A and B are shown apart, each in its own frame.
Chain A
Amino acid sequence: MATYLEFIQQNEERDGVRFSWNVWPSSRLEATRMVVPLACLLTPLKERLDLPPVQYEPVLCSRPTCKAILNPLCQVDYRAKLWACNFCFQRNQFPPAYTGISEVNQPAELMPQFSTIEYVIQRGPQSPLIFLYVVDTCLEEDDLQALKESLQMSLSLLPPDALVGLITFGRMVQVHELSCEGISKSYVFRGTKDLTAKQIQDMLGLTKPAMPMQQARPAQPKEHPFVSSRFLQPVHKIDMNLTDLLGELQRDPWPVTQGKRPLRSTGVALSIAVGLLEGTFPNTGARIMLFTGGPPTQGPGMVVGDELKVPIRSWHDIEKDNARLMKKATKHYEMLANRTAANGHCIDIYACALDQSGLLEMKCCANLTGGYMVMGDSFNTSLFKQTFQRIFSKDFNGDFRMAFGATLEVKTSRELKIAGAIGPCVSLNVKGPCVSENELGVGGTSQWKICGLDPTTTLGIYFEVVNQHNAPIPQGGRGAIQFVTQYQHSSTQRRIRVTTIARNWADAQSQLKHIEAAFDQEAAAVLMARLGVFRAESEEGPDVLRWLDRQLIRLCQKFGQYNKEDATSFRLSESFSLYPQFMFHLRRSPFLQVFNNSPDESSYYRHHFARQDLTQSLIMIQPILYSYSFHGPPEPVLLDSSSILADRILLMDTFFQIVIYLGETIAQWRKAGYQDMPEYENFKHLLQAPLDDAQDILQARFPMPRYIHTEHGGSQARFLLSKVNPSQTHNNLYAWGQESGAPILTDDVSLQVFMDHLKKLAVSSAS
């Protein structure tokens, strides 16, 4: 364990966990003075090539309030066949199957390298995966066609025994029955009326009438254990049928007069989808996939009226409290999201429209259930098509990279308590001794439900050190945390992944250096950012920024080295050096800045920020900028306006966008066609290099980023210009007119100014 950096990396690779602090302050008071809370980013299903699941069930601590799982940190008495729980110190008998264990014959869960281990539960019925397509038909012909093709294609990607269902909506909502021969049958609902789950089930005939049907076909009870078989059918049985059905899908036939938006009953469609699954497959992995091409315009969940002259709400309207439909719609979708989450289903939203489509109101559907949110301009773009295709990508085992209905349980040793979690989850409201009263994120519980997750889904989990200052922890004492994730694997197995970690305690007063050195500034930045974004959902933007600033200043005051009132003397240690810069970019990021973003975009960005892992999150906070030139191999350069040079090609990755920017000279060369001349083949290669690199990123990322190829002076260059640190602007004289870099026309402060102020404030004794 050479450096903390390696330690951190190793831990992340093994356990999918990154803590803000890797040595923990041993008392509550000290912990609060650390400013950045003790927290971690947990990627519960992190892909581990080297982690074959074990085919038996975990051994639980017998204390009813604990039920921690046997792990390498437990003390084991091999002779007595006893083990002591490292969380509650209960001594437990090994189960009979473990009679053969000894020091040399240990089960996997006791080996230190298996601090993360996955169990496969063999019990219980295995229910197939369920995919319920909810398709908007108020689309342009091209869009609809593209969407239909995508959906048809997706049928071939689904597991053959998965159940699929189809709901289409426009002015009405149609639930298509898939089992019938000859005549295609659908149940239609009015798009303006909210229905309870009970009503929906009654109307779909899922309650009583199903009985006679089953009686009519007594021969197949085993094949169709579920009454809902009419609407959800195994792919292999009805893929032809469904392909035809999709092929015959027509645009919503109701006339849309000039000056009107089509009537789109998204709210009711979702409600019916939720109700359908709720009644038929509760607590079974299911994905509701909503494809919509515009905002809901009628019924519950309506985001905007059908009058085109009334534009959809903007941030401006919201701030002015002028978005009269927003609250009601949000409430509707929140209600749906909570129901969906309670049933263990998840909702994906694929919104492709040039204007907003109501993601702001609908975001909770994806956010609370772990569903995906994809935003594009059109279904007829590769962005959507590839993103959608990527949903069904498979891992090295040939399993889908998705899991369902996960419950994440966190157990802590007694010096710690759980303050909350931020991520695509909902609270299960399980109180316990290890639940803190102070909430950060979704708190008040030690268990969360993550209805849909994939290998990159990452939660931020926040803790509170509760150990009192006057109860010192013995030297070498370690705090332990166990993460237990039960989920339905895409192979329909129930699995449990258990990660148990331990970190050293350190007395903050005597061993601050240790603690400082063990600071993970990347994790800390992301965790703080999550807190900030979480706050931003409910608080005013400026308040959040102010809070962030204060935290930053306090951190600098705590860990900076400086002389009072002397800004120039301010220094930060290496482990903190990047943190202020992250904060600077975070302040400018679309997660906290709504200027220039629609409410939908903000929701979209925040959604992804709240679920991606640390690396991706960091990219989102501070985009990566590569520079390509004749002077050498591509190199990462500062995200700064000074990096924008005429003879460079820049490749910026903001996670959501990949921007290739040709400097002024390069652009001119290209325009002159040098790349086509054999003698300038090197130029051609130069032009090609960033494209290839961009392709790599595009191939790997979900959702597929927007790909922008632009050049100096191009209108799309704004994507780059808005991200870089405006070190040169029209009003800072020293940069103006100089050769290097490009001035940015903005009033935003640059990083330099920001840092100057930060130093000043940090060293000031006033704050």
Chain B
Amino acid sequence: MNVNQSAPPVPPFGQPQPVYPGYHQSSYGGQPGSTAPPTPYGAYNGPVPGYQQTPPPGVSRAPPSSGVPPTSTAQVPSGQGAYGQFGQGDIQNGPSSTVQMQRLPGSQPFGSAPLAPVVSQPTVLQPYGPPPTSAQVTAQMAGMQISGAVAPAPPPSGLGYGPPTSLASASGSFPNSGLYGSYPQGQAPPPSQAQGSSGAQPPQRSAPQQASSFTPPASGVPRMPSMTGPVLPGQSFVGPPVSQPNHVSSPPPQVLHPGTQMAGLPGQLPPMHSSQQPGYQLQQNGSFGPVRGPQPNYGSPYPGAPSFGSQPGPPQPLPPKRLDPDAIPSPIQVIEDDRNNRGSEPFVTGVRGQVPPLVTTNFLVKDQGNASPRYIRCTSYNIPCTSDMAKQAQVPLAAVIKPLARLPPEEASPYVVDHGESGPLRCNRCKAYMCPFMQFIEGGRRFQCCFCSCINDVPPQYFQHLDHTGKRVDAYDRPELSLGSYEFLATVDYCKNNKFPSPPAFIFMIDVSYNAIRSGLVRLLCEELKSLLDFLPREGGAEESAIRVGFVTYNKVLHFYNVKSSLAQPQMMVVSDVADMFVPLLDGFLVNVNESRAVITSLLDQIPEMFADTRETETVFAPVIQAGMEALKAAECAGKLFLFHTSLPIAEAPGKLKNRDDRKLINTDKEKTLFQPQTGAYQTLAKECVAQGCCVDLFLFPNQYVDVATLSVVPQLTGGSVYKYACFQVENDQERFMSDLRQDVQKVVGFDAVMRVRTSTGIRAIDFFGAFYMSNTTDVELAGLDGDKTVTVEFKHDDRLNEESGALLQCALLYTSCAGQRRLRIHNLALNCCTQLADLYRNCETDTLINYMAKFAYRGVLNSPVKTVRDTLITQCAQILACYRKNCASPSSAGQLILPECMKLLPVYLNCVLKSDVLQPGAEVTTDDRAYVRQLVTSMDVAETNVFFYPRLLPLTKSPIESTTEPPAVRASEERLSNGDIYLLENGLNLFIWVGASVQQGVVQSLFGVSSFSQITSGLSILPVLDNPLSKKVRGLIDSLRAQRSRYMKLIVVKQEDKLEMLFKHFLVEDKSLNGGASYVDFLCHMHKEIRQLLS
């Protein structure tokens, strides 16, 4: 549906569509009706369970398509219509299995498929196309069964392949297939075959190959097989549809298996390919995973199905033994697909409920009435109409909101609207702000609130006539009537104490205890601050920043500095009364940098000298924050504290902490205490800070346990950031710290903010995750909010939603800009509502989902044992997938794993979450690290969680040096590493360069400046600056990666077979981890088992 909507407005869609047509046409001809494909899928699945499916998919698609075609054609134009048509598609599927058909419809709704299809189809998908449509990675996990009994698996697999059962079913389906056949007959057959051959074969081939490589995972393999490779392919393809964007991933496959497939495909789908070969291939990849899996299955099942069998056959034998990692859904593939398919065209937000491109895709956004995905991303863009449906699906309804997100230079920041003295126009009842969804009636004299339906008078000064469509004539002149995001100038009513705020202030609070001095931190920091103060954030074209600065140093006592411009020398004021902190001076503490430059410089010169001989090792912490907060209070402004702290605050003072690090608690019921603050004092303090608009950024330089869990409470609740530099040494960490500090100081911040998320009737924001404080259940209070901070909001139904009107979100953020202006930033987003679960599954965003689930889990560890949290995650994931399988996927054997296209990466990502340090700590992970990561994730946006949980692994030496593009990523698994290459891994926090043991000497020379592998210093953190293309390229790449992240990533060079390699391997998240984290394959099997349990 969305598609339809989107299609017309959005060119991108157009593209896909064409593809579709192409696809369908070519393949199914009919299928173009994106809807059709899905249905077929469903059908496929149903029938296929086995192999056949795959082919069938193709076929089935075809059929549906065939059936659809007509519709599709029609549909294409009217995407939504198409959905309806899906039904038809279903029907078509129906042929295969009516019942299933119906279910399928659900799947079809995959309409997503439609969406995706558009893209995906063009891609190779088509061949898989069908599968794509299904978007489900139907990995018949015969393997699953196998997984059940790994060892036995293989055989069972063979047997299990019960697939036989599946086969049986398949066979059962075969009839279907027969039907399919019919389909195919219509169109599919040929294509299907072709596809099958192409799709299936390649997979198979690959499978075998891989199998060989994978052989070990015999059990897995079986599963894979069970995956009903064929089916899977199809399904997987289906997956693609969902991920259509993802489909992009398929290309790689091409590369890999390509030749044959390609050939095959081309042969079959030349047109398609021509139009979208790359995509195609990608899809293949995506599909591959499945395919392979399937293949094995195929193998087994196929045997039954000669037609496919032929192709699958060979692979099958092999597959049964293993689950081919290449056959399971690949994040890399999905990302690539999406990039290729959706990266080129701007994302226009005019249409309700469109799923935006993945966060990993570079795309431009055109605001046409809905907020950019940079501001808001939802787990699903199609919300179930009823809470029952929502409960059934278990898909969390959440939005990840980044109200002050930074935009690429090409996109304009929100317009500022000034409604004059009366303030922004709002609904009288629910107080929602004027937005494009408000309905003007009675000739423009009144408007009906789109959130609460209250009818309000339009104030005279705002009156405007309506045109014949009922739209205000000035709609396009007013941002608040035509855009998704905009800002209002707030009136004095929106200000604290009914007074316009003063410009905010930054206070630098520097630990000058022995540790800080000895490590050189203080000297470094003071030196840096001198220049950094010129880069305080300023608003718009302001010549100088309005922000005032102040300085405090502390150890066991606090030292405030008077740096008033009229002084010849700074004055230091010591406050020893830490039990009852206060600010000793008013005038001269917070100053304009330019006016007081001489004094400040003198101060920063003297601080390291003054404390050079200090022996004071004890520090205080809470009083420091208290002091900063009091200073802001005294100055009657909001602001930010930059705390540079080294050690556990053990000095006698409020907020004194004791060392309670106890590794024995791990995996016990008391483990949660490690994440909880030691004392409630910090919460109280944070509350006061929030009331004052005092945001706290904490830079930690611990040599040992500092209790991050407690120290980060205040930053966390005030919207601040925590940076941690364990064992800080100037030589090693200078660059990282300086870079982080610069970025942190320079970034634009909104102060003293309150965020409120309003929704249209029927749903309600019920839960919030992020770095903020809430004193009631609706208002998110943020002492400070910068462009990197994200708030995840969960919604629940409290009434029925209406498909017609959809669901609306309005996020209003009231804040003080860095120039001291009080503003309201409004983001609006309209979502679709569905009565069919399939619509939900087709419009999901896995990355966002993972963002939500990770935050949910990370908060859960505060109150529940980690194991419970992990189990909850697994259960929820299983439920989501089982629901899909039950309600949306085409019928298939129970042994078959069918994943919704949009969520085919859910297992792999979720596994990454489960394996993360917080939920499954390794021996080398300190309590502080876990607490640190825990709080970091809490305010991460989708892009950050994505790469954080599934790191990017880039081969540096594979692509020609001349190529300017980023090398294509590879999956995070040790098997993907070749010992003749060098790889770069990043997860947003860390950056590794892994050097294979047999890398060419020339490469070593040009990159590291040493003559051999053995001479490379392990743990090197800086690449030598060498004047050769490779060195330049790699360093350039590192720089660009760092530029993408909000935190500076420290580089560590790791040599193969070196001690440090353990550290690196920790990030190869598809592998089994040392801490007991499951490998991707194992987890997928486990998930399949869970799903089957739920289904039975």
Contacts and interface: CB of A to CB of B under 8 A. Distances in A.
A202 interface: yes
Q: Is the interface of A mostly helix, strand, loop or mixed?
A: mixed
Nearest to B582: A190
Contacts of A204: 576
Given A183-B610, A203-B577, A204-B576, A172 B585 contact: yes
Nearest to A209: B616
A186 interface: yes
5 contacts: A184-B571, A185-B573, A189-B576, A205-B557, A253-B586
B567 interface: yes
Nearest to B574: A187
Interface in A617-636: none
A760 to B, nearest CB: 66
A253 B585 contact: yes
A174 B573 contact: yes
Given A172-B582, A172-B585, A253-B585, A193 B616 contact: no
A209 B514 CA distance: 13
A120 to B, nearest CB: 41
A764 B248 CA distance: 128
A185 B557 CA distance: 13
A250 interface: yes
B526 to A, nearest CB: 13
A195 interface: yes
A183 B576 contact: no
Given A182-B606, A183-B610, A188 B575 contact: yes
Interface in A152-194: 172, 174, 177, 180, 182-190, 193
Given A172-B582, A203-B557, A250-B587, A186 B571 contact: yes
Contacts of B616: 209
A100 B584 CA distance: 67
Interface in B563-614: 567-577, 580, 582, 584-588, 602-603, 606, 610, 613
Given A180-B610, A189-B577, A253-B586, 8 more contacts: A172-B584, A183-B571, A183-B606, A187-B575, A188-B584, A189-B576, A204-B576, A209-B615
A659 to B, nearest CB: 44
A46 B567 CA distance: 48
B488 interface: no
A147 B587 CA distance: 21
B852 interface: no
Nearest to A190: B582
A96 interface: no
A6 B603 CA distance: 71
Contact of B571 (A185, A203, A216, A255): A185
Contact of A187 (B570, B573, B606, B613): B573
Contacts of B602: 182-183
> Looking at B584, B587, B613, which has the most chain A CB atoms within 10 Å of its CB?
B584
B585 A183 contact: no
Give the dominant DSSP class at B's interface: loop
Contact of B572 (A172, A186, A202, A248): A186
Contacts of B568: 248
Contact of A186 (B557, B573, B603, B610): B573
B13 interface: no
Nearest to B570: A183
A203 B569 contact: no
B573 A190 contact: no
Interface in A188-233: 188-190, 193, 195, 199, 202-205, 209, 212, 216
A212 B572 CA distance: 21
A599 B812 CA distance: 61
A669 interface: no
B179 to A, nearest CB: 86
Contacts of B574: 177, 185-188
Nearest to A191: B582
B1067 interface: no
A254 interface: yes
B214 interface: no
Contacts of A193: 577, 580
Interface residues of B, number: 28
A214 to B, nearest CB: 12
Contacts of A172: 582, 584-585
A202 B585 contact: no
Contacts of B567: 248
> Considering the complex of A and B, which 5 residue pairs feature the smallest CB-CB distances, nearest first?
A203-B576, A188-B584, A253-B587, A187-B574, A185-B572
B580 A190 contact: yes
A174 B587 CA distance: 15
B1008 interface: no
A183 B603 contact: yes
A418 B576 CA distance: 48
Nearest to A200: B576
B560 interface: yes
Contacts of A183: 569-572, 602-603, 606, 610
Nearest to A215: B615
Contacts of B586: 253-255
Contact of A188 (B573, B588, B610, B613): B573
B446 to A, nearest CB: 47
A205 B577 CA distance: 11
Most A CB contacts (10 A, CB to CB) among B567, B576, B613 go to B576
B624 to A, nearest CB: 15
Contacts of B559: 185
A551 to B, nearest CB: 53
Nearest to A254: B586
Contacts of B610: 180, 183
Nearest to B589: A253
Contacts of B576: 187, 189, 202-205
Interface in B790-804: none
A187 B568 CA distance: 20
Contacts of B588: 253
A180 B560 CA distance: 16
Contact of B569 (A184, A186, A188): A184
Contacts of A188: 560, 573-575, 584-585
B569 A182 contact: yes
B569 to A, nearest CB: 6
